[in-house]
Chains A and B, each alone.
Chain A
């Protein structure tokens, strides 16, 4: 999605970082005192969500720069840390929860690389392992083409040994990262899905083949990798299709460079359904067998989830039984029936992931 309109908060300092973005977008910016004109501009459109994807607002992060992943009640969380660098996305996935999460959503980029640097410095001096990502409220690498941020972060993380940076994406925007001295502290992660789901539900994203080719290229440059099968969509023949995707992964990259693979099936706040029905009239993604989960999100009927998970896990383990595969937001029964174990203790799943991070990225094992 091409950016058509650029708003800049007067609170942002006009510096190299901002000038870089203006020059890359080649759009005359409109300077504003607050976000109201941006909201007005977006809300005047018949499809504010689509409009928001083409409207960039450069502003300052006035809240917490680093925060814990909110997780969800009743389901096991991985204790992830979020580096809050921006919100929303230029790609247009039907299932994207950000469409219903922000009111209305705004494509925001938080300027102030030095602020991120200062906040990260405090993290880097702690005697603890951190897994930090920028892909919770936005795609990490949509910013690679127009900002200096991904490059800056990779270089910051390269200087320490207690934290890893995970850049999660559905793009192939890796060019500026290839020749960086990352020191193994950055994982490039791809969200993957079947070609059917990518073509029907992930508008504007890179194809599966392109994502895997990009993964191969960064692997060749020494980056470690991760893959996220989330959201998995249940449809006729989906098991075979997801298994094919796994076979594809190992045609492109080596299992020993995969730090983890997460899996999670499509779940959504009930109000997202209306958004999807309105914006994606051909999508049938909401018409699976969903029930209201314990966290008040719609989830696939549990036996269906377990059946798909088992097939996927078995296929991954055939390639390498040591690859860390974990669930994003599943409960004890699903873990037990799919993996045969459940990380019951508080922080146990996080600890498993920390260990994998230490092993693959050379973090200080004394902090485990």
Chain B
């Protein structure tokens, strides 16, 4: 049986470069954790494993970093017996988190990848409740393993929320270079799950329709310009990329919408009157609406509409 004992060690004796058991992601603002430890002390001491006259971290990577940030020379840790095997240490590192809080998707993927050295999907599924504090089936674990094999920085982007689990799952079927290009795009934008999937779908469909590889598509000048613009915010980039992709995927619909919108704008209906053409121009239901707080506003809107009736451009809106 393996057991740990609590002791104080020199931080300098810890090999910070050995991250073999790291499940959690680096805490970007280590100062907050440092401040918390200063205020309340180390509530859960990290766990370390003696190895080659040094210690390697099993759990508590961020807590040790925070202690260094606090300029501490020593730290209270649990040390694992030197003869503990790799598998047991890995289990310690995972369960130290999973029974304290739910693992994030990225942590779960990283854990599964590390565990796969010792267990196959079915074995992991059988032990999932004891390791992850939740039941997972073998098919889902296989999906996670596929995602774990995506090139860097896929996992980091999942952790940051730049790519969703569904997006990562969709990307696994592409060639490595294509995946890298998508990761490059998603690292520079901030899109919801649906928007991420829409971006992938449009790029895939445009490439297939135009009989070009996605790699060739990624060289698209407009897309490159948006991505490489350092001054533009991720949300704005997302909006511009989506607009651009829609224009390429549905050129006629895009042009028609723009044309009709221009014509509607030229009618000068003002801000209070809304003139909406049928969705996708499939039905013939055009709608016009306005709000009026009083009779004067109501009359003013009616007057505007009467004036528009004299405008020849109005009829053009109805004839696409």
Mark A residues whose CB is within 8 Å of B: 74, 284, 286-287, 289, 291-294, 299, 301-304, 332-333
State whether A289 touches B250 (Cβ < 8 A): yes
Contact between B208 and A301, CB atoms less than 8 A apart: no
| A291-B209 contact in complex given A301-B256, A303-B320, C-beta closer than 8 Å | no
On chain B, the residues within 8 Å of A293 by CB distance are 282
Tell me what chain B mostly uses at the interface: helix, strand, loop, or mixed: helix
| Residue B251 CB within 8 A of the other chain | yes
Q: 20 A-B pairs, CB-CB below 8 angstroms?
A: A284-B208, A284-B209, A284-B211, A286-B205, A287-B206, A287-B208, A289-B250, A289-B251, A289-B253, A291-B253, A291-B282, A292-B282, A294-B282, A301-B252, A301-B280, A302-B282, A303-B256, A303-B281, A304-B252, A332-B284
B320: chain A residues at CB < 8 Å are 302-303
How far is A325 from B62 in the complex, measured between Cα atoms in Å? 75
Shortest distance between the CB of A119 and any CB in chain B (Å): 38
Nearest CB of chain B from residue A284's CB, rounded to whole Å: 5
Q: Shortest distance in angstroms between B206's beta carbon and chain A's nearest beta carbon? A: 8
Distance in Å from the Cβ of A357 to the closest Cβ of chain B? 31
Interface centre among A286, A291, A292 (most CB of B within 10 A): A291
Known: A289-B251, A289-B252, A289-B253. A301 touches B209 (CB 8 A): no
Alpha-carbon gap, A303 to B280, bound state (A):
10
**Contacts A301-B253, A303-B252, A304-B252: A287 and B284 contacting too (C-beta < 8 A)?**
no
B251 and chain A: residue at smallest CB distance: A289
Per-residue CB contact flags for chain B residues 23-65 toward chain A (1 = under 8 Å, else 0) read: 0000000000000000000000000000000000000000000
CA distance A287 to B284 in the complex (A): 25
Minimum Cβ distance to chain B for residue A337 (Å): 9
Q: Does any Cβ of A come within 8 Å of B283's Cβ?
A: yes
Size bracket of the B interface? 10 to 19
Contacts of A299 in B (CB 8 A): 282
User: Can you list the 10 inter-chain pairs with the closest CB atoms, starting with the nearest?
Assistant: A291-B280, A287-B209, A287-B205, A289-B250, A301-B253, A284-B209, A289-B252, A284-B208, A303-B320, A289-B253
A292 nearest in chain B by CB position: B280
A289: B residues at CB distance < 8 A: 250-253
When chains A and B are docked, how far (Å) is the Cα of A243 from the Cα of B206?
27
Contacts of B206 in A (CB 8 A): 287
Q: Which B residue sits closest to A235, measured CB to CB?
A: B209
A299 CA to B282 CA in the complex, in Å? 9
Which of A284, A292, A302, A332 contacts B281 (CB under 8 A)?
Answer: A302
Q: Which residue of B lies closest to A300 (CB)?
A: B252
Find the A residue at minimum CB distance from B283: A294
Contact of A301 among B205, B281, B283, B284 (CB under 8 A): B281
Given A301-B253, A302-B281, A303-B320, output 11 extra A-B contacts at Cβ < 8 Å: A286-B205, A287-B205, A287-B206, A287-B209, A289-B253, A291-B253, A291-B280, A291-B282, A293-B282, A301-B256, A333-B284
Chain B residues with CB under 8 A of A294: 282-283
Query: Which residues of A have CB within 8 Å of B251?
Result: 289
Q: How far is the CB of B263 from chain A (nearest CB, A)?
A: 15
| A332 contacts across to B, CB distance below 8 A | 284
Q: Residues of A contacting B205 with CB < 8 Å?
A: 286-287
